[in-house]
Amino acid sequence: MLRILLIWLLAFNLAFGYVDEDLDGVDDSVDKCPGTPFDVLVDADGCPLEEKGNFYIKLSSSYSIDEGDSSLTSYITVSYSRDNWYFSLTGSYIFSSEEIKNEIGDTYIFGSYFFSWRSIYTQFGISLKLPTSKISKKIDYTPSILTDIYLNSFDIFFYGDYTFTDEKGLKNSYHLSIGFGNQFTDRLYTSLSFDYSQSNISGYDDEKYISVYAIYDITEKFFTSILYSYGLNKSAIDHNIFGKIGYRF
C-alpha cells in the first residue's frame, strides 16, 4: 500500500509540475525544511510540527491521623510539561485540622528541569509556597533534586529538598528520601521508600517514615495514585494517606 501511495505521489508531481522530493506535501520551492522524513508531520513551511506539550489536571486529598487527631485536606493541581520542563500550580482547601477548618489552604507553584544520561534520570526543581491560608504569612522557597537510576523495570531513587522560611516560630527544614520501585506492567508502578524529615517547628524532633506508593494508568488519559506513610518515631505523624486522580490532555 505504501509503495502504491509513493508511486501515485510521484505521478502527481510529474503531471502537474509539483516538485516535493521529501513527500511532505509542501512544494520544494517554498519548503523551508527540505529532506524531512516521510513519516513526520509538518507545518505549512514544510518543517516538523513542534510538540505542544501536555496539560494535566489532578484532584487529590490527604488524610492524616496522629495521636487520635485527624486532618483532611484536598488539592487541585493544573500542570504543564514540554520537552524537559514541568510546571504546576496547586491550590488547597483544609476541611479539618488542629489549626483551621473549612478554610482555603496555601497555594504552591512548582517548576523543574530534568535531563537523562544513559539509565540515570535527574530533576532539579523549586517550589514556592504562597501564604493564602490564615496561618501562613510568608513565602517559603524549596529547591529540590531527584535522581533515579533505572535497571530495566527496576529503579533506585534519591530525593532531597531544603525549605527556606521566614515564618515566625519556624526554622528552615529539609526532607530526604531513598527507595526503590518496580514497573510491574505498562500501567502499574509501585515503590517503597524511607523518608527522613527535619521538622520546621522549633523544638520538634526529626521525623522518620516508611512510605508505599503506587500509580496506575486507568486509561490512556486517566491515571490514579496513592501514597501511604507510616510514622516510625513519636514526632512523626502516625498515618498519612494521599490519594490522587488525574487527567492528561
Query: pLDDT at position 59, please?
Result: 96
Q: Which helix (H) or strand (E) holds 141?
A: strand 140-151
- Grid look-up 516508611 returns 210
- CA nearest neighbour of 25 among 49, 50, 52: 49
Model confidence at 46: pLDDT above 70: no
Phi, psi of 8 (to 5 degrees): -65, -40
- Cβ distance 24 to 43 under 8 Å? no
The CA–CA distances, whole Å, from 29 to 20, 22, 89, 231 equal 9, 12, 45, 68
**144 vs 19, residue with greater confidence:** 144
Query: pLDDT at position 24, please?
Result: 59
Residue partners of 7: CB distance under 8 A and separation at least 6: none
Tell me the pairing of strands 120-130 and 222-231: unpaired
- CA nearest neighbour of 171 among 151, 146, 199, 142: 199
Query: pLDDT at position 53, please?
Result: 82
pTM of structure: 0.77
The CA–CA distances, whole Å, from 1 to 6, 7, 8, 24, 222 equal 9, 10, 11, 17, 35
Model confidence at 98: pLDDT above 80: no
DSSP tag of 235: T
The CA–CA distances, whole Å, from 211 to 84, 88, 146 equal 27, 24, 16
pLDDT (average), residues 74-78: 97
Lowest-confidence segment of 13-17, 31-35, 61-65, 162-166 by average pLDDT: 13-17
Query: pLDDT at position 67, please?
Result: 81
- pLDDT category of residue 214 using cuts at 50, 70 and 90: very high
Q: What is the chain's length?
A: 249
Lowest-confidence segment of 4-8, 115-119, 143-147, 215-219 by average pLDDT: 4-8
Lowest-confidence segment of 43-47, 115-119, 126-130 by average pLDDT: 43-47
DSSP tag of 124: E
Query: pLDDT at position 16, please?
Result: 47
Q: Which helix (H) or strand (E) holds 3?
A: helix 2-16
Domain parsing of the chain, residue ranges: 1-48, 54-248
- Cβ distance 32 to 24 under 8 Å? no
For 163-202, the DSSP string reads EB---TTB--EEEEEEEEEEE-SSSEEEEEEEEEEE-SBT
Superfamily of domain covering 54-248: monomeric porin ompg (2.40.160.40)
112 pairs with which residues across the strands? 86, 125
